Amino acid sequence: MKQAGSHTQAVNPVNNAAAADANLQHAALIALDWGTTSLRAYLYDAAGDVLATRASTDGIMNLPRSAEQGGFDAAFEDACGAWLEQAPAVPVIAAGMVGSAQGWVEAPYVDAPANADALVAGIVRVKAACGATLHIVPGVLQRGDLPNVMRGEETQIFGALGQDTSAVDSGKRALIGLPGTHAKWAVVQAGRIERFHTFMTGEVFAALRQHTILGRTMVTPDRPDTGAFLRGVKIARDKGQAGMLATVFSARTLGLTGQLSREQQPDYLSGLLIGHELAGLEAVLTQQQNSLAGQHLRLIGNEALCERYRVALTQFGCTHAELVKHATERGLWRVATQAGLVNPAAQTAHAG
């Protein structure tokens, strides 16, 4: 399997419009991470280095106008129009919810196990009003009694795998976590996403905090309370056998009995839910003759949230959780390279 050029090891995003204008003659790729509520665009040179980025709130559910009235074209033009005016021949790749049934055009899921070549084979193209062609990366579907899907995370995973060619080449099995609204845990081996699990931890936390009686006594603290967070993790680990529904009310009762302050309750609830997520993950791994203990896993996502997970993982015996930075832009570059949208010869010339 081809790997992205070695220069992708030093991706250095620059949020500077003047620098982007000065470097547009070196532009080789535009890549979009286009989700439900946000759009982020990256401009690369031929070595895979990011020259500039643009970010907006024009996610697929928050377009400047309706899709029928050209909302996707408008959002794309707002994000990338200036780049395309000066470099109209630059190829464009996009990943995320833009390829969903509610997106610009549907890119049907590819089945797990899936490698980067499977994503390339599933790319769907759409022509923008400005004349550019977007190459939209598909998501991944895991079939079964409890089907599972991801869109966007697959590209991040391949961005993380591209940094660790030894693990890919050796066929070693690894675990990658993507904390967030819908947390994903993917088992990868030999450069493939073998299987994955989804936990609605972030969304459930928001729902419980905002729409149940638990939130009535909570006050947002000035700074995170690690002690309260770990208390929740340990309760889930040690007393959560009956499941989350049997323990979550403790976020209120510990407050009523004076054991948790109003400011501690949000972090306790967060720890409780993340603890149940990790306990559930541990149960699944045990069925597969594996365990979190001793795992050297990778985390992708918001740094503060990943740090929270890293702390929680230590309570399950996992003391080696590495944060992967720039996984999205590395993954978009890698898929674009394997799709032939960027010229490997240009990378070689740049490297020389």
Quick count: other Cβ atoms within 10 Å of Cβ 49?
22
- Identical fold between 6-169+326-351 and 201-324: yes
Give the start-to-end residue ranges of the domains of the chain: 6-169+326-351, 201-324
Which stretch of 16-25, 192-201, 206-215 has the lowest confidence by average pLDDT? Answer: 16-25
Going by their DSSP bridges, the two strands 133-136 and 92-95 should be labelled as parallel
Average pLDDT across the chain, whole number: 90
φ, ψ of residue 136 in degrees (nearest 5): -100, 125
* Distance (Å, whole) CA 270 – CA 231: 10
Quick count: other Cβ atoms within 10 Å of Cβ 311?
17
* Distance (Å, whole) CA 11 – CA 152: 19
CATH 3.40.47.10 fits 6-169+326-351, yes or no: no
* Fold exhibited by the domain 201-324: Nucleotidyltransferase; domain 5 (3.30.420)
Q: Decide: 98 and 152 in contact? Cβ < 8 Å.
A: no
pLDDT digits (tens, 9 = 90+) for 277-325: 999 999 999 998 889 998 889 999 999 999 999 999 999 999 999 999 9
Q: Which two tokens stand for residue 268?
A: 């306790």
What pTM did the predictor assign? 0.88
Q: What is the pLDDT of residue 170?
A: 53
Q: What is the pLDDT of residue 225?
A: 97
Quick count: other Cβ atoms within 10 Å of Cβ 36?
17
Give the strand order in the sheet containing 27-34: 50-56, 39-45, 27-34, 92-95, 133-136, 124-127
Q: What is the pLDDT of residue 344?
A: 62
What Rg do the C-alpha atoms of the chain give, in angstroms? 22
Q: Decide: 134 and 125 in contact? Cβ < 8 Å.
A: yes
Write the CB contacts of 304 (distance below 8 Å, at least 6 apart in sequence).
none
Quick count: other Cβ atoms within 10 Å of Cβ 150?
23
Residue 340 confidence (pLDDT) above 60: yes
Quick count: other Cβ atoms within 10 Å of Cβ 5?
22
